Amino acid sequence: MARILVTEKLADAGLDDLRAAGHDVDVQLGLSPEALVEAVRGAAALIIRSSTTVTAEVLAASPELVVVGRAGIGLDNVDVPAATTQGVLVVNAPQSNILTTAEHTMAMLLAQARNIPQAHGALKAGKWERSRWEGVELHGKTLGIVGLGRIGTLVAQRANAFGMHLVAHDPYVSADRARQLNIELCGLEELVGRADFVTLHLVKTPETIGLFGKDLFTKAKPGLRIVNVSRGGIIDEAALAWAIGEGHVAGAALDVFATEPTTESPLFGLDSVVVTPHLGASTVEAQDKAGATIAEQVQLALAGEFVPFAVNVAASEASEAVRPFLPLAERLGALFAALAEGAPTTLEVEYQGQLADADTRILTLSVLKGLFSGAGEESVSYVNAPQLAEERGVEVRETKTSAAHDFVNLVTLRGGHHSLAGTLAGLRGDPRIVMLDDHTVELPPADHMLVVRNDDRPGMIGLVTTSLGAAGVNISDLHLGRSPSGAMALMVLAVDQPVSDELLERLRVADGIATVHALSRG
C-alpha cells in the first residue's frame, strides 16, 4: 500500500494496526538530521514523537509525503507552515496523554510538598532523616493554575479533592466557566503573590518563553512551590535557581527543561528541587493511546478520508473564493487575542461583500485557530477550535452581509471592548488591517505591532517614536487613525522586534497615553 517511516518508538499495537492495513512499516530509530532526510525519501507517511525534528528540508525530501503524524500533543518539532505549503497533512494525538500528564502533575505536586524523592534517596543511602524532610500539607493551601485547558482543568478537579483553594490565570477562559469549576480567575502577578503552589499548563510560544523569570519570582508569596509538567523554557531555570537561593521560592518540581535531553542544570544541586526526565506522557496507557490514535489518523490520511485530528487544513477543503482569506482570518484571530489580552465572552465574526455568498465556516474556524493559538498546552486545529471555544465559555456568532461600502470583501471581529477588521488588497491579495477599535487604519499585519491610544493633540507621535528609537526599536510602518468622535487618536506601529515590558510600562504611564497593547505573532 504505502511506505510509512517511523523514527521513534511507537506502541506495538499502533505498528501492528498499520501492518494489518497492508502498509510497509519502516522503523528506523535514532536517525541524525542528515540521515532523516535520506530515510524519508519515497515515504508516504512519517511518524514521530518529540525527538525528531521535521524541517522544511525533511518535508521537501519526499514529494510523495502525504502525512506527518506526531504520537503526542506538542508540535514544536514540526514545521507546520512548511507542511501546509507543501500540501502535507500534520496530525497528532491530542487526547492521548491528557490524563497521564495531569496525574504526573499531581505526583510532582505531592513529591514537592512531602520531599518524597529526597527522603527516599537518603534512606537508601543509609540515612534516617525524619526531621530534615518535614513537608507541608496540600489541604487548605492555595493552588495557582496557569493555563486552564484540558490538563489544567483535570489538575483543578484533583486538587479540589485535596481541599485546596483554586485560583487560575488564563485570559482565554470566561469568568462563568471558571465559576463552574470553582476557580477564581486573576492576573499572573496576583496569582504568584497569593498561591502556595503553582502548576504550569502552557503552550511554548515566544510570549511564554522565560515567562517565569526573576521579575515574577520576586513577586512570589514566600514559600511558593512551582510545578512544571508542560513545556521546557517557560521557566527561566537560572532565575529559578536564583529565586530559591534568595528565598523567594521554597522549591520546585520540574519534568521539562529548556534543553532536552539534559543532565546538567543549576537546579539539580538544590535539595528543594524534584526533577524527572520528561515523564509526563510516559505511561503504558498513554503510549498505547498515542500509538493507536496516530496509526488511525495516518491510515485515514493515506486513504484520503476525513482526519479528525488534523492540525492544518488542505487548501482543497476551502472554495476558491475563501481560500486566499484563510491566512488573514487566522492572523486576525491571533491579533485580536493579543489586543483583547485573551478571548472575549462573545466573539462576533462578520463577513461583508462577496465573501457573504460563500461558505465561510472554514474562515471562522481559522479565526478561532488564531484566537486560541497561545492558549493551553495542546495544538489548535480546525477540528478542536470550536471545542476549545465551548470549553472556555466563548460564544461565537457569525453574520454575513453582501453590502460592503469601502472594500470588495471585509472580515470583522468584535468582542468585549475591541474590534478588528481586515481585507486583501490589490492584484496580489496582500493582507491589510483596515480597522482597529473602530479607528480607520490601513497597514499590513506584522510579526510585532504596537497599538497606542492617546489624546488627539500635538506631540504624541513624537513621544512614542522617540521612546522607541531611544530603546533601539526600529519602526517599519506607522499609521494614524481617529475615532469617530475625534477625542482620541490611535497609532498602530509595525516594529522589527518585540517591545520590552519596561518600555511598554514607560509608555503606559506617559502623559496623554490612554492604552498600549503589544501584538506579536505567536
Helix (H) or strand (E) holding 176: helix 175-180
Beta strands 488-495 and 475-482: pairing type? antiparallel
Note whether 80 and 64 are within 8 A (CB).
Answer: no
Pick the closest to residue 102 from 260, 284, 281 (CA basis).
281
Q: Which of 129, 246, 260, 341 is catalytic?
A: 260
Per-residue burial over 219-246, b if 16 or more Cβ lie within 10 Å, else e, is ebbeebbbbbbbbbbbbbbebbbbbbee
Q: Which of 70, 225, 231, 453 is catalytic?
A: 231
How many CB atoms lie under 10 A from the CB of residue 279? 15
**Cell numbers linked to 506:** 514607560
Helix (H) or strand (E) holding 142: strand 142-146
Active site residue 231: yes
Note whether 415 and 340 are within 8 A (CB).
Answer: yes
Q: Which of 150, 225, 248, 278 is catalytic?
A: 278
Q: Which residues lie across from 369 on neighbouring strands?
A: none
For the CA atoms of the chain, what is the radius of gyration?
25
Helix (H) or strand (E) holding 433: strand 430-436
The DSSP letter of residue 180 is H
**Cell numbers linked to 36:** 532523516
Which residues are catalytically annotated?
A: 231, 260, 278
